[in-house]
Amino acid sequence: MSDLFSVQGKVVLVTGGSRGIGEMIARGFVAGGAKVYISSRKADVCEALAKELSAEGTCIALPADLSSEAECQRLANEIASREDHLDVLVNNAGATWGAPMVDYDEIAFERVLALNVKGVFHLTKFLRPLLDAAATADEPSRVINIGSIDGIHVPALETYAYSASKAAVHQLTRHMAKAMAPTITVNAIAPGPFESKMMKATLDAFGDAIAQAAPLKRIGRPDDMAGAALFLASRAGAYVTGVILPVDGGIATLA
């Protein structure tokens, strides 16, 4: 039981890992003894966090804009030039867009879907050889996609492309789980409200009301998110695949 939730020595890539949900997950893996690569579009932010986390473990910045297939390929090639296998891929990089329906145009949908859905697929596709390299049915490699409870229920805000993209991520997760078994598990975490840059404006305006409406009466904490990712990436989660795991204080259980 002592190593049931261990990720010691695993090689991990967390996209969108320089802030928000991705940073929470990256911090958890570094603290757990994994070798962690973080990627995000802003190189300076990515490098700064990698330097900070390297004080307590191993964290390496590899900036990339994963909204294009070419950049997904480039990042996969960069990982392959450094590692002979990849144990865990966390597809967290994402974007949102809010506007009234009448103003919601093609640019909004293209920006959000390109990163949130196509980026997840392309990066996983290009990294599959590394995920396969050391994987077995007893100790599978892991893909963890970050969805959202907005892909489970109808959100209050007019974020049409975002909620559609996260519902797509959930179905893509199930599809990939079937295709990549038995040596790679694919699961999704569907976060509820957490303190992140993406959620800042919403929580500033409605945070107290959101917390009180949640069955568990609070906003998510970094260790809540890290714990879910560590479970799915460790031996404890080796027999779990194709699952959409809400980490939301019970909000997804509400109508």
Residue pLDDT, tens place only, 93-110 = 999 999 999 999 999 999
State pLDDT tens for residues 137-148: 999 999 999 999
> Mean pLDDT over residues 106-126, rounded?
97
- Per-residue pLDDT averaged across 227-248, rounded? 98
| Catalytic site includes residue 160 | no
Q: What pLDDT is stored for residue 117 in this prediction?
A: 98
Q: Kindly indicate the confidence band of residue 225, based on its pLDDT and cuts at 50, 70 and 90.
A: very high
* Percentage with pLDDT > 90 across the chain: 88
The residue from 37, 104, 160, 162 that is catalytic is: 162
pLDDT band at 157 (very low <50, low <70, confident <90, very high): confident
Residue type for position 121: F
How much is the pLDDT for 202? 76
Radius of gyration of the chain (CA): 17
pLDDT of res. 255: 56
Q: Give the Cα separation of 63 and 113 in Å (integer).
A: 20
> Model's pTM, two decimal places?
0.95
Transcribe the chain into DSSP letters: -TTTT--TT-EEEEETTTSHHHHHHHHHHHHTT-EEEEE-S-HHHHHHHHHHHTTTSEEEE----TTSHHHHHHHHHHHHHH-S--SEEEE---------GGG--HHHHHHHHIIIIIHHHHHHHHHHHHHHHT--SSS-EEEEEE--GGGTS--SS--HHHHHHHHHHHHHHHHHHHHHTTTEEEEEEEE-SBSSTTTHHHHHHHHHHHHHHSTT-S-B-HHHHHHHHHHHHSGGGTT--S-EEEESTTGGG--
Between 201 and 6, the higher pLDDT residue: 6
Percentage of the residues of the chain whose pLDDT score is greater than 70: 100
Over residues 168-215, the pLDDT tens digits come to 999 999 999 999 999 999 999 999 999 877 777 777 777 888 889 899
Question: Considering the chain, what is the average pLDDT of its residues?
Answer: 95
**Which residue type is seen at 96?**
T
* Predicted pLDDT of residue 113: 97
Average pLDDT on 116-124 reads 98
Domains and CATH numbers, the chain: 11-253 (3.40.50.720)
